[in-house]
Homo-oligomer: A and B are copies of this chain.
Amino acid sequence: MDEIEKVLRQHRVRPTAIRLLMYKFLQERKVAVTLNDIESGFDKSDRTTLYRTIKTFEKNGLVHQIDDGTGVAKYALDEPQTARAGNTQNLHLHFHCTSCNETVCLTDHTIPHISLPEGFVTQDVNLVLKGTCDKCSRK
């Protein structure tokens, strides 16, 4: 049995043809992708299916959505170990390059703790750095 198939099953996602293809597609890309990026990567299949597929992935903890401020949602695979470990890796920061428009997960860089005024309870954090990425700043 395929390795990807196993991962999907572990997350209770039935491994259909499109789902396997999309997972592979996400693995190949090192950066976060939009639904349009995914659509461009598949000659076949319909937008809606791809949309629902990525949402299924998200709901079942296979990918996370990234809001980098560009206005369009991006998605990236969760770290494989995340599910097993205490998902510390899950909360990481993202870097959005305003030059090439790519957004990457910086899973090594955890988000510093931030103290808030009395009464505020934090459940989630979104931290996005914007600027020029390594590739673009070298040019």
- Identify the A interface with B (CB < 8 A): 67, 69, 93, 95, 98, 106, 109, 112, 114-135, 137-138
Contact = CB atoms under 8 A, between A and B. Distances in A.
Contact of A114 (B109, B119, B120, B130): B109
A69 to B, nearest CB: 5
Q: How many copies does the complex hold?
A: 2
A131 B126 contact: no
23 contacts: A69-B126, A95-B120, A98-B123, A106-B116, A109-B114, A109-B115, A109-B116, A112-B112, A116-B129, A117-B134, A118-B134, A119-B134, A119-B137, A120-B132, A121-B131, A121-B132, A122-B129, A123-B130, A123-B131, A123-B132, A124-B130, A127-B127, A127-B128
